[in-house]
Structure 1
């Protein structure tokens, strides 16, 4: 429901006077700075401006500006930010001292603005209106700024229009004092995150893999850690682009008996006025000046000439026509596909510096799970483990081994211990819920893992876990039932692969879902998207399945994608699509 583009202005003035003059936006809460939290909350903005002292660590796509004079207050800072913002009709404004702010909060304000109001602001748990957490109509904000008698040291209330809306929220209190900061750091931030925030946390808190030198074929599935540069020219020599004749000088030409074949090392010298037969891909004889293809040539005995109706063209591929030695062929950060591996070999590149391919180890948990042999009472066939590598590969993870883990309290401790599993990602199926046999979260805590994602607000897949062990191996915990596990892999695994390899952040694909209102009606688990199978119709629209049995993958048979549908999306509204492998 928040499809309208928006720009974001983040006020990060830096000086916390009631905290001893510290750089307040740089203070960390739960492992990240409050400025980072603010930027994650507006990650979907078309343009983002940070107002305050220059911060070299910020991404180059983020615009930075300082209000003038420095320290002249939030209104002056807001005006400076608006001058640097993009052209979106909606502008989100927030301070960089909201340590538990999420993208959901910004989205709720944007949804409220859709009702035609001039601005929407958050109200915190104390009932206070947070004028530095709001969304504005750009033209209204610009007009209110222009109407002020000066910008310096103005209160934010002086900007507020008469027609504004408010949204009651929790978890948005700001940090003005050391006590506020201590309380924020002590608070439990381990609850479920939105999909946007979960992906941002994965990108921020998972370190990239070290770069390795691999052959182009072994590197498929990885990502270039440095640009791909050609070693030799292509073609390496002047070669014939067609079957025909290599000729020397102007015609007509005397046809010699020699024939130049591709790969031939025989020395052939053409004198002026002479020609020889030549095959596609063969390098030109010494003295040759051009190639005439068969259909453009006429032969009278041993005399060759260009046909009168043929174009005057040369079918020679000259050395370096495709690229010269040292030419850049692909930038760093490019995924190594089969095509890129082929390109490297064409350029005589024998080794690539890459991160990845990402190696995964699949662990299926549960006493009741049986892969092979007849089932006994109480057992369930492992219908997911054998096919999970197919879905992981689609998402950029190469499954190299698997394990079956029984439901014992200490089983995970041995599994997660350093040196037990040699993999970049340990993918664990089951044990992510709160049941008696669900030991994963406790085991991660005992192992000293840092939690990256502790649940996501979505259905199914809400119980998923992403954590990083002390040795930097990543753990992806999936729900136990097959449909939820596959939905989680498609939703989350591409972000893990991109974070580990340094690949660009995956760009979501979307499509119009014809029956979206039926699939995720308004009022059902507010702000919790539903993930459903959809099939593309001949007219380009997508149609979803409303009833899905999650104990097997039958709902995916014939489906083209999973759609992530927000509650209240109207019929024909757009949803993110998680494309299914074939």
Structure 2
């Protein structure tokens, strides 16, 4: 097969979508640019034409047409010039617009094979209606170069000006482009739900990082180190006694002096051979000390101080820098600022650090039927989930700010989303489905939000959505069902913290689920579970999801894979006490 290079067009004005970054729109868990780059992964070289994108790998060359937004022909011309600088340019060129979310490598391979066997100057895809897609094609380099050379200038030229007479069409599926918000909505509706692992990876990788800030560490509990914590001072700062006993020098018996070394007191005078001085744990040992002998390992008589027969020989001295030296790394980037870290920082004489976070969250309860306080009226139900969400968020490493209630209106979310600039996370309960009162998804689309997670392949919790607004606020849309909301929150919220702050992912708790076969089905499930004395868990095969009574007397939740058998290893999510 001939060698093949690729030009991916990732610019344009997206005028029918309000000027949003169309290649960056996420459908089915990945951006349309990611889909295009993945489709041409088999090519020798790939050039992406458009605004610079820092998340693209170094193996991909990035260039920008001049002027930006000058049309596809100008972009192709720019990409072609970039490839001309390469040694041994390929015979064939894939030209591909980054606006087809379901395009895959198999379709590109089919186009390459047709171009190779036919000898045509170009082969373009035809969509299911038979319409040519001139921005999904394979060209002979010489034909593409000749077509551009025929033009007076490539700026704002129509693609049809390039099409050679010997071009062929190849019918392909899944190549419909997305030019309007309605196209994006339809594509997202067709996209397969993400697995929990995919969703977690998406929010870790695709959510924007919070800015770094240098702070007093004791005021940053819940934040995450944005640089490693290094010691400013050695520990111990000087040689100290590790036990209560006697500092000794030379052979026994030792003559015991009358002075005593106390922790925090003055350092005793230096020892001469045959001398001992009483010393407390943590005290600075006298100069010349060869060992500290514990109280329980000595005896005294008229000759002086002796080591007891058969007592272990050890010096019981903590040497300067034994635990760490100045400049030693004590905690890596991504470590949460916890009580343990604050203690280590204090011992290392470190008061400030560079951190991200913590993540602050506003809770939004939705639904006309929900009431927090006061008597219930006809058709209303008590808010049984809102009051417990602050504790659950804190358990996940998130600081809750406040809780508000939003009624079911067509545009109620617009104001909520536009004003979400004083928090890093909006936790929205309800309105994530497709019903008449479920307005969150359409509101996110109206604001041009980025959707890393559109749906989950998980029961309950399938309607969960994770988005990021243009202002950088993360939106976690949870199902309105109380158990589904809690279960999904505990599975995804820690990953959101990791994505926003760069926190090192928590180690999963894995063990056997002894009755997995009674619970599993065609879709992964999350259910309450009890810990067993012999290890592992038993899960609840059935649970009422409209309340949280199923969590009473349970130790946590387990995520049960599809078609799991008894004893299958599952992930366990502990519940806060």
> TM-score over 0.5 for the alignment?
yes
Alpha carbons 2:267, 2:283 under 8 Å: kept: no
Alpha carbons 2:452, 2:466 under 8 Å: kept: yes
Does 1:455 pair with 2:445? no
Deviation of residue 347 (structure 1)? 1.1
Report the counterpart of residue 556 of structure 1 in structure 2.
551
Does 1:572 pair with 2:532? no
CA distance in 1, matches of 2:300, 2:532: 57
Report the counterpart of residue 496 of structure 1 in structure 2.
496
Give a deviation string over 1:99-138, Cα, whole Å, max 9, x none. 6469xx9xxxxxxxxxxxxxxxx999xxx99899xxxxxx
CA distance in 1, matches of 2:137, 2:268: 85
Report the counterpart of residue 442 of structure 2 in structure 1.
442
CA distance in 2, matches of 1:51, 1:335: 42
Deviation of residue 431 (structure 1)? 1.9
2:188 match: secondary structure: coil
Give a deviation string over 1:225-249, Cα, whole Å, max 9, x none. 1111111000011111000011233
Deviation of residue 302 (structure 1)? 7.7
Does 1:414 pair with 2:415? yes
1:412 match: secondary structure: helix
Alpha carbons 1:469, 1:475 under 8 Å: kept: yes
CA distance in 2, matches of 1:33, 1:415: 25
Report the counterpart of residue 468 of structure 2 in structure 1.
468
CA distance in 2, matches of 1:14, 1:506: 42
Give a deviation string over 1:367-411, Cα, whole Å, max 9, x none. 333334444443322221121122222323222322233334443
With the length of structure 2 as denominator, give the TM-score of the two structures. Answer: 0.70
Give a deviation string over 1:130-154, Cα, whole Å, max 9, x none. 899xxxxxxxxxxxxxxxxxxxx99
Give a deviation string over 1:438-476, Cα, whole Å, max 9, x none. 232233233332222222222211111211111101111
Report the counterpart of residue 339 of structure 1 in structure 2.
340
Pick the structure with greater CA Rg: 2
Unaligned runs of 5+ in 1: 1-12, 42-48, 61-67, 74-95, 106-121, 133-152, 156-172, 523-527
Report the counterpart of residue 80 of structure 1 in structure 2.
none
TM-aligned CA distance change 1:51 to 1:512, over 3 Å: farther
Report the counterpart of residue 200 of structure 1 in structure 2.
201
2:387 match: secondary structure: coil
Deviation of residue 540 (structure 1)? 3.1
Deviates more, 1:361-370 or 1:481-490: 361-370
Q: How does 1:95-244 map to 2 (within 5 A)?
A: 100=101, 176-177=136-137, 183-186=176-179, 187-188=183-184, 189-191=187-189, 193-195=193-195, 196-244=197-245
Deviates more, 1:317-326 or 1:193-202: 193-202
Does 1:297 pair with 2:293? no
CA distance in 2, matches of 1:576, 1:51: 39
Aligned length: 469
CA distance in 2, matches of 1:337, 1:223: 9
Does 1:479 pair with 2:472? no
CA distance in 1, matches of 2:384, 2:276: 67
Deviation of residue 308 (structure 1)? 3.2
Deviation of residue 509 (structure 1)? 4.5
CA distance in 2, matches of 1:33, 1:553: 37
1:246 match: secondary structure: strand
RMSD of aligned Cα (Å): 4.2
Does 1:285 pair with 2:286? yes
With the length of structure 1 as denominator, give the TM-score of the two structures. Answer: 0.69
Report the counterpart of residue 79 of structure 2 in structure 1.
none
